Amino acid sequence: MKIKIAPSILASDFAKAGETVEKLEKCGADYVHCDVMDGNFVPPITFGHQMVANIRPHTKLPLDCHLMVLHPETHFEEFKKAGADYVTIHYEACKNNLIENLQKIKSLGMKCGAVINPDTPVEKIFDCVPLADMLLIMSVFPGYGGQKFIEETLPRLEKLRSFCVKNGYPDKEIEVDGGITESNIDSVLSAGANVIVAGSTVFRAADMAKTIGRLRG
């Protein structure tokens, strides 16, 4: 499977967002990971669809919007208008409306993803596998960049990847998000993730292009 790198702009200076995404594209990133936070689902507030609309003209890269918000379904249309390519939503914010919300994202012509926090059993999103374009396993509790990778994520990635393979979705995109560094990337890739979110590691790098290349394993 193709390994894709999705740097998170949470770790960057929002005042320079346009040039940041231009630089990410030049440095070989595959997606731009946009961490949307509402101050309710997670304590911090970051940005909303307006930021996505502002960076849209600066890159051709798919904009991978991670909605850490309550009532995500109230935002889908605005993200569509803003130019979002992927919208990923939390099981913990949707519970029994997750499938319905994923269908709504798809009906708007965007790719959809289901996200689970580190303390949510992987089985909770097994029923999304056929519909979702991407499944995101959080390797930190959402809300902040620069946190330590939670090691228990590895068996969770293996369990999800083997479920996808056994059920006829061997190429399903599985994204991992939080605490990814050059020292844990190999174990993350061998556990079955193929889309790698990295904020601090990329934006702290002396040579961004080299670091993005190294994160491809």
- Chain residues in the site for ligand DX5 (CB under 6 A): 8, 10-11, 33, 35, 66, 68, 140, 142-147, 177-180, 197-201
Cβ proximity to ligand DX5: between 101 and 200 the closer is 200
Work out what residue 128 binds among ligand DX5, Zn ion, none; the CB cut-off runs from 5 to 8 Å by kind. none
Work out what residue 47 binds among ligand DX5, Zn ion, none; the CB cut-off runs from 5 to 8 Å by kind. none
Work out what residue 132 binds among Zn ion, ligand DX5, none; the CB cut-off runs from 5 to 8 Å by kind. none
The maximal CA–CA distance of the chain, rounded, in angstroms, is 45
Radius of gyration of the chain (CA): 16
The yes-or-no answer on residue 171 being catalytic is no
The yes-or-no answer on residue 177 being catalytic is yes
In 107-190 the beta strands, taken as DSSP E runs, fall at 111-116, 134-138, 173-177
Cβ proximity to Zn ion: between 130 and 211 the closer is 211
Choice among 30, 35, 85, 133 that is catalytic: 35
Nearest residue relative to ligand DX5 (C-beta): 199
75-88 in b/e burial notation, b at 16+ Cβ within 10 A?
A: bbeebbebbbbbbb
CA–CA dist 23, 61 (Å, integer): 11
Cβ proximity to ligand DX5: between 83 and 179 the closer is 179
Cβ proximity to ligand DX5: between 146 and 169 the closer is 146
Q: Nearest to residue 36, comparing CAs of 1, 78, 5? A: 78
Q: Nearest to residue 41, comparing CAs of 17, 1, 75? A: 75
Cα dihedral 87, 90, 96, 100 in deg (nearest 10): 0
Binding site for Zn ion (CB under 5 A): 35, 66, 177
Residue 7 pairs with which residues in a beta bridge?
Answer: 198
The CB-of-140 to ligand DX5 minimum distance in angstroms stands at 6
- Catalytic residue ranges: 35, 177
